[in-house]
Structure 1
């Protein structure tokens, strides 16, 4: 499991299309599940801190858990399944469903530490972290998916890489807006008088 995780950040490693069999199916699933729990926990914590500092009453964030579950599993399981189906329909290479799910699962792993770093209550820092994570994750996706799609003579197959990049950009922005849009602003110690 650790070797597959290191392969995500090792730019000298061959793309997954040339690794052959042996890609684990469970690890990407647990990566997505861990991401769901971390997204929910960190966004709930930042919301609670913002409510406390703004003297707002606390409110439940339980619907956010179902939002995190739906968002991450739809993107991490349904999108790669559709991509695999499209590649099978177009007759592209030997690419198994487990490998496609693995690529997407591992690509989302970078957002686990980024979600923890998004506890930093500075909006621009959160944007930079999310964008950098999106770029590195997107690079990993393109690096592993493009060789399979580029081998096709069908132009539709090559357009799929554009769809992969577009959907990835949408999920990255959605993660920022849905889970880390709370601003943590307390009372101004200079202009506000103490009671």
Structure 2
């Protein structure tokens, strides 16, 4: 029986598997969002997520940006309602998410459109009320567009000024800053215009303050133009709140349009 065996000695056998080296590399979000799947191996089946432009079309590449649970989202929403703490950027720097901003914007689209029409019905002085379905499309354009475009513009401004900031981090900050408009929309159903202005005003100050304080803490020590950046960001947030009030919760012009 032993004749069929021979010693392998120190030969290198083809097909042998080397010991896997441990890796401490952690996915970072701070620098950019230039290639969500570059260099990553993902999936439960061990398949590659692709490289280069192909990674943009692979859903697995975006998994890290939705790596939060309910407790994380609730905590970040709670932080957005206490704007003067100013530590949101620091707390989310290692794991900014797009899950919360996506659902906040989606909720705002339907809440503002539905409650805006309902509030118009309550405010109607005659029977000439009609449902404005265009509010849904305009709300989607406004909220999704705002959260997508404004942080993108700020990202390039900060990059030009040499301030290190991640695009996903800015999307996360802006997305959670809009949460306060959800409860404000419910309060704006009350058919008293003074109260609506007060509610939207408080929500606007809270939202703009949340943005301004967090952006200030992030850029003040890195750029001499921090004041201009902070005031511009706050002004745009206040402008968004004004549009929400005038388009969704102001009805003095409805009767004149109907009777033309």
TM-score (normalizing by structure 1): 0.84
Matched, 1:59 2:127: no
Structure 2 Cα separation of the partners of residues 12 and 123 of structure 1: 28
Structure 1 Cα separation of the partners of residues 85 and 205 of structure 2: 18
After superposition, residues 142-157 of structure 1 pair within 5 angstroms as: 142-155=212-225, 157=226
Gaps of 5+ in 1: 184-195
Matched, 1:108 2:178: yes
SS in 1 for 2:96: coil
Report the counterpart of residue 32 of structure 1 in structure 2. 105
CA positional deviation for 1:13: 4.7
Report the counterpart of residue 140 of structure 2 in structure 1. 69
Higher CA-based Rg: 2
After superposition, residues 2-151 of structure 1 pair within 5 angstroms as: 2-10=74-82, 13=85, 15-19=87-91, 20-51=93-124, 53-56=125-128, 58-93=129-164, 95-151=165-221
Structure 2 Cα separation of the partners of residues 12 and 101 of structure 1: 20
Structure 2 Cα separation of the partners of residues 168 and 9 of structure 1: 15
The answer on whether the counterparts of 2:84 and 2:213 sit within 8 Å (CA) in structure 1 is no
**CA displacement, residues 119-139 of structure 1 (integer Å, 9 cap, x when unaligned):** 100000000000000011111
Matched, 1:174 2:246: no
Structure 1 Cα separation of the partners of residues 181 and 220 of structure 2: 27
CA positional deviation for 1:86: 1.2
The answer on whether the counterparts of 2:123 and 2:191 sit within 8 Å (CA) in structure 1 is no
Gaps of 5+ in 2: 1-72, 253-260
The answer on whether the counterparts of 1:149 and 1:158 sit within 8 Å (CA) in structure 2 is no
CA positional deviation for 1:18: 1.8
Q: Normalized per residue, which structure has more helix?
A: 1
Aligned-pair RMSD on alpha carbons? 1.8
Structure 1 Cα separation of the partners of residues 189 and 214 of structure 2: 31
SS in 2 for 1:109: coil
CA positional deviation for 1:8: 1.5
The answer on whether the counterparts of 1:28 and 1:101 sit within 8 Å (CA) in structure 2 is yes
**CA displacement, residues 89-108 of structure 1 (integer Å, 9 cap, x when unaligned):** 22102x21111111111110
CA positional deviation for 1:14: 5.0
The answer on whether the counterparts of 2:161 and 2:223 sit within 8 Å (CA) in structure 1 is no
CA positional deviation for 1:43: 0.4
The answer on whether the counterparts of 1:92 and 1:149 sit within 8 Å (CA) in structure 2 is yes
- The number of aligned residues is 179
Alignment partner of 1:161 out of 215, 227, 230: 230
